[in-house]
Chains A and B, each alone.
Chain A
Amino acid sequence: MAKAIPKKGSRGRIGSRKSTRKIPKGVIHIQASFNNTIVTVTDVRGRVVSWSSAGTCGFRGTRRGTPFAAQTAAGNAIRAVVDQGMQRAEVMIKGPGLGRDAALRAIRRSGILLTFVRDVTPMPHNGCRPPKKRRV
């Protein structure tokens, strides 16, 4: 999973030299589950730049799954990245959940140019057996 690419100019240097990379184009991943929404901003290759979730925005418990929480999470994540100079982005949405539309709306409103909006919910071709039914 970790891409072991030797960095050219950092032999013997501790830590990354440029902690704030200037990336004009990135990918925004939104994982919207029923209980929470996590928004991660990465570059085109998938290396994470910043992330935020409804939980880190201060909501706890049932309020994490609400669309408003997703909206604030997306706003938080985008704000941290717009300062780094990101103009265009792709959006990848994963999972069912109320945070899907709300986060997309927040991203759109923040002024970032969107190229694609994709749904990448993982679908098994009848693979693992899911857990048993809840008897509530």
Chain B
Amino acid sequence: MASSVLANFLSIFTPLKAPPQPSKAPPSNISLSTESSSKHKDAFAPMVASSNSSSSSSCSGDLMSVVCPSLAYANTLYFRSAYNVQVIVEDNEPEEKLLGRFRREVMKAGVIQECKRRRYFENKQEEKKRKHREAAKRNRRRRTPFRNPNDEKLEGVSKKREDDDDNWDMPSDSPLN
């Protein structure tokens, strides 16, 4: 039944997509994704966290890229549903590991945050506040990358900063000294 549906879709779309894609970039993208899909047995590498429009790889990627390269993007047709996050389960994966992986993917995609935001309407003020907060959080995280609190390097860095602040002495490698 699924194959007949697939055949129907192919017959509808092949005449429309007959003009071949001129650029080389899309096929290389597909080859990458099919490569990752074929390496299912690797532990964490082929993490297929896709965006909203379900443009991730799948086990059908190989088939589609062989049958009709221009249709290899149309994963939505094959899966009949768009998903936000997909986690492929390997054999005998411990329960906690699977759950942890799924949770991490979901957090990376920001699904739950987005749901909570869209529950109630937020006016322009609220939206501005939220964007400000998010930007601050992002900048703060980028400005101060995570440092070990009990590291002596931290003290060294702070000392160096103090030395730089004192500008009354000439620097030691200056030609005037």
Chain B residues near A134 (CB-CB < 8 A): 120
Beyond A120-B83, A120-B84, is A131–B2 a contact (Cβ under 8 Å)? Answer: no
Contact flag A132-B120 (CB < 8 Å), given A45-B1, A119-B83, A121-B84 = yes
Are A96 and B99 closer than 8 Å at their CB atoms?
no
In the assembled complex, the Cα of A1 lies from the Cα of B109 at a distance in Å of: 30
A17 at the interface (CB under 8 A from B): no
CA distance A129 to B123 in the complex (A): 11
A116 and B95 contact, CB distance less than 8 A: no
With the chains together, A134 CA to B120 CA distance in Å?
8
Within 8 Å by CB of B111, from A45, A92, A96, A124, lies A96
Interface status of B85 (Cβ within 8 A of chain A): yes
What residue in chain A is nearest B126 (Cβ atoms)? A133
By the criterion CB–CB under 8 Å, are B81 and A133 in contact? no
We find that the number of chain B residues with CB closer than 8 angstroms to chain A is 30
In the complex, which residues of chain B have a beta carbon less than 8 angstroms from the beta carbon of A95?
A: 115
| Least Cβ–Cβ distance between B8 and chain A, in angstroms | 14
Binds A, one of B69-77, B86-94, B168-176: B86-94
B47 at the interface (CB under 8 A from A): no
| A119-B111 contact, Cβ under 8 Å, with A105-B95, A108-B98 | yes
Please judge, given known A-B contacts A44-B2, A96-B112, whether A120 and B120 are in contact too, CB under 8 Å.
no
Contact among B83, B99, B105, B121 with A130 in the assembled complex (CB-CB below 8 Å): B121
CA distance A95 to B112 in the complex (A): 8
Report yes or no: A119 in contact with B106, Cβ–Cβ below 8 A: yes
The verdict on A96 contacting B116 (CB below 8 Å), with A108-B95, A120-B82 known, is: yes
A109 interface residue per 8 A CB criterion: yes
Q: Are A117 and B1 in contact (CB under 8 A)?
A: no
A120-B82, A130-B119 are known contacts; what are 17 more A-B pairs with Cβ within 8 Å? A45-B1, A92-B81, A95-B115, A96-B116, A117-B87, A117-B89, A118-B84, A118-B85, A119-B83, A119-B86, A119-B102, A119-B109, A121-B84, A121-B111, A129-B121, A130-B118, A130-B120
**B114 located at the interface, meaning its Cβ lies under 8 Å from any Cβ of chain A in the complex:** yes
The CA of A123 and the CA of B54, in the complex, are separated in Å by 12
Report yes or no: A131 in contact with B87, Cβ–Cβ below 8 A.
no
With A104-B99, A121-B115, A133-B121 in contact, do A115 and B89 touch (Cβ < 8 Å)?
Answer: yes
Please report the C-alpha to C-alpha distance between residue A101 and residue B81 in the assembled complex, in whole angstroms.
21
Q: Which residue of A lies closest to B106 (CB)?
A: A119
State how many angstroms separate the Cβ of B84 from the closest Cβ of chain A: 5
Distance A56 CA – B59 CA, assembled complex (angstroms):
37
Residues of A48-88 contacting chain B, CB below 8 A: none
Contact in complex: B98, A124 (CB < 8 Å): no
How far does the alpha carbon of A114 sit from the alpha carbon of B2 in the complex, in Å?
20
